Chain A
Amino acid sequence: MRHFIALTCCVVGCVSASAGGSASRPSTLPIVELTRADGHLEPLQVALAGSMTVIDLWATWCTACEQERPKLERLSAAYGARGLRVIGLNIGESADVVRAYLGEKRVSYPIYLDPDFRLADALGEKRLPTILVVEPNGRIVHRAASLDAETLALIKSKLSLDP
């Protein structure tokens, strides 16, 4: 019994230590080239298209990501005409996997790929889903685990829809 408790504490302590502390996260998007789901390479700045942008970090196996998608679709539909751009960034999956998924799910906003976690690591993001709100100049002004009321209020304020 004592040995088991000691072993458990050791394991818990080790994994806790390994996960503790968050690395500093950049406040601007790195300058990288992204692959679109359709295979085309595109600089990230082009993907932003000079717009206030919401970036959704997701994966096909992430059920919480799937729950975010309808909200992002509605957000895109509601504020796309007012200059908001919504893009999805798939994390850690191959183009084939993502394309097969999109074939079934019909996502209306553009999807980009980060199959080797390069951008996710550069952003310092550890969780999925993650919602980033990015200004046209690439500055990350907000990070959230979901599209919530706080995030939506910020987006609206940045679009100058609210005083």
Chain B
Amino acid sequence: MTGSSGARRESFTLRAKARRAQTANPQGAAVAVGIERSHPAAWVLASGCFWLAVVAHAEPASDAVILGQSKQGVRVDEFRLRMTTYYQEGRGYQSQAGSIAGPGSERALIVQPMVLVGIRQSSRIHHEVVVPVDIVSAASANALDVISHASAVNEAIGVELTSRFDLTDDDRLTSNLTWHEEEPFGSGSFGLGYSRAMADDNATLGISGQATFDRFDYLQPNGDRYGRRNRTALNGNLSFLQLLSPTTVFDASYGLTFQQGTLETSYNSVPMEGGASRTKELFPHSRTRHAVQARIAQHLPQSHTTLRAAYRYYTDSFQLFAHTAEFELHQYLFPRLLARGTFRYYTQTGVDFFSTALPLQHSPLQPRTADSDLAEFHAQEYGLKLLWLTRGQSSLDISWFHYSRSNGLDANVISFGYGTGF
């Protein structure tokens, strides 16, 4: 949002670019990767202003005015509103909104208003509170809706608190606390992260961990409830960001997640061979997931363009392997109008216990699923976002994304956002 800058004119000569290839600069990199503040690691580097008014409260007013910190103490410095609608249409074998043997409807409409408030506690401590609300209107997205009533509406609310503590100029600690509640499901998580800027701020190394606890009604495909079940997830991430030149950023990360508990969606069902009956979905009791990602972003000052490319490899103990390639183009159309085009290609193998016609002799204790999310498929997503940077620190944006999957799921996402800083 703060990446306003009126005229961004042509800048580096080729010779200069080449010479500067190893003399990176974090704020320049922020242009490359942080035009919309969407890259947390880059923002960590780009916010070279966290020395702002270190002791502003102890200085004469004139100092505070010069440093732009005339408002002292705890204050709200950012406010954002977002309204996102997500509409999907498709068919999946886990859904009972169809014939017994065939795939059922996965149609769903989700409306998600969201509020974000940024709170500056001091020059070194900043908090961000996000309140997302999900209103899910699923004609028959899953068995639950068919059993209960058509066009069921389900509301969910959550709170996410993220805090940032700048321990020193180079060391940053982050924490996050989330809580989510909806009718059959409650979830809470807690995470800690640490990042260190190195090599004259040209690189950042980060490590983070997260624990998530879910508790939910053990709903059966026939609508019965057998008490409550739990699952937990422990996640660890290691990331490294490197400025390759003032306008080029590379980052890589590895994430490891271990899940345990009731991992299946208990009201999902699996068609049995012969097409006469269904049985409930069952997952192994634990799942270990690995993800490796590499990204590069290049800003082209001459044309006010930023290009990003990313690749992600994923595998887990369910024998699911996935590859993701993603490309983004950020282009200033006018000094205050930024367009972003994205394309993402994703392909995965199915889990080894996926079946749409489970053999009748299949053991009831053996894992099985017909969830279309766990089938073999490839998917494409493309979209466009327009961001208008208004005068001051405000912005308006509108975006549309289309997602289509080879196994019969299509989704459209439309989002409107407004944000302002103080």
Q: What is A's interface to B at a CB cutoff of 8 Å?
A: 1, 4-5, 8, 11-12, 15-16, 18-22, 59-68, 70-71, 74-75, 78, 92-94, 96-98, 100-101, 104-105, 115-117, 121, 126-129, 144-150, 152-153
Contact = CB atoms under 8 A, between A and B. Distances in A.
Contacts of B242: 12, 15-16, 19
Main secondary structure of the interface of A (DSSP, over half): helix
Contacts of A117: 16, 19-20
Contacts of B53: 148-149
A64 B30 contact: yes
B54 A150 contact: yes
B25 to A, nearest CB: 4
B55 A149 contact: yes
Contacts of A93: 9-12
A20 B313 contact: no
Given A75-B66, A149-B56, A63 B4 contact: yes
Given A20-B203, A93-B11, A128-B27, 17 more contacts: A12-B252, A15-B250, A19-B199, A19-B200, A60-B11, A63-B5, A78-B66, A92-B20, A97-B9, A98-B9, A115-B16, A117-B19, A126-B24, A127-B26, A145-B48, A145-B51, A146-B48
A121 B301 CA distance: 20
A131 to B, nearest CB: 10
Interface stretch (B57-65, B140-148, B277-285): B57-65
A94 B301 CA distance: 12
B299 interface: yes
B381 to A, nearest CB: 23
B13 A115 contact: yes
7 contacts: A61-B304, A63-B4, A64-B49, A71-B68, A128-B25, A149-B56, A152-B59
Contact of A127 (B25, B250, B299): B25
B9 A71 contact: no
B221 interface: no
A70 B313 CA distance: 44
Interface of B: 2-13, 15-16, 19-20, 22-28, 30-31, 46, 48-49, 51-56, 59, 62-63, 65-68, 198-203, 240, 242-244, 246, 250, 252, 254, 290, 292, 294, 299, 301, 304, 313, 315
B367 to A, nearest CB: 23
A22 B16 CA distance: 19
A107 B243 CA distance: 29
B62 A78 contact: yes
